[in-house]
Amino acid sequence: MHVCLFDIDGTLLATGGAGKAAMEMALRTAFGGTGSAEGVPFSGRTDRAIARDLFRMHAIENSPANWQRFLNAYLEHLPASLSHHEGKVLPGIVDFLEH
């Protein structure tokens, strides 16, 4: 058996900014404020690492409770965000995953 590890965004698919938009909305709904993610790098990073930077930027305590609160809001907003952005499966991925 062969095992292949890779990240999803930028390797399997491009979300067209849907993740960033959902995270900004999650910040606004869970913690108030502007929810801006301007200046925070997203590419090649885990959601948790991005959230740590967002928390620091918005002076939100980086606690397990706040992470869960953010994650719940993010997962609530993500489906709608994905449907409003031009995401796509990258070339060759469907064939790769089928084999």
Q: What is the pLDDT of residue 7?
A: 62
Q: What is the pLDDT of residue 79?
A: 93
Task: State the pairing for strand pair 88-89/13-14.
Answer: antiparallel
* For residue 45, pLDDT beyond 90: no
Indicate the SS3 state at residue 78: helix
Output the CA–CA distances (angstroms, integers) from residue 70 to 9, 11, 50, 85, in the order listed: 20, 25, 11, 21
Q: What is the pLDDT of residue 76?
A: 98
Amino acid at 59: A
* For residue 10, pLDDT beyond 70: no
- How many Å is the Cα radius of gyration of the chain? 15
* For residue 52, pLDDT beyond 80: yes
Lowest mean pLDDT among 1-10, 46-55, 85-94: 1-10
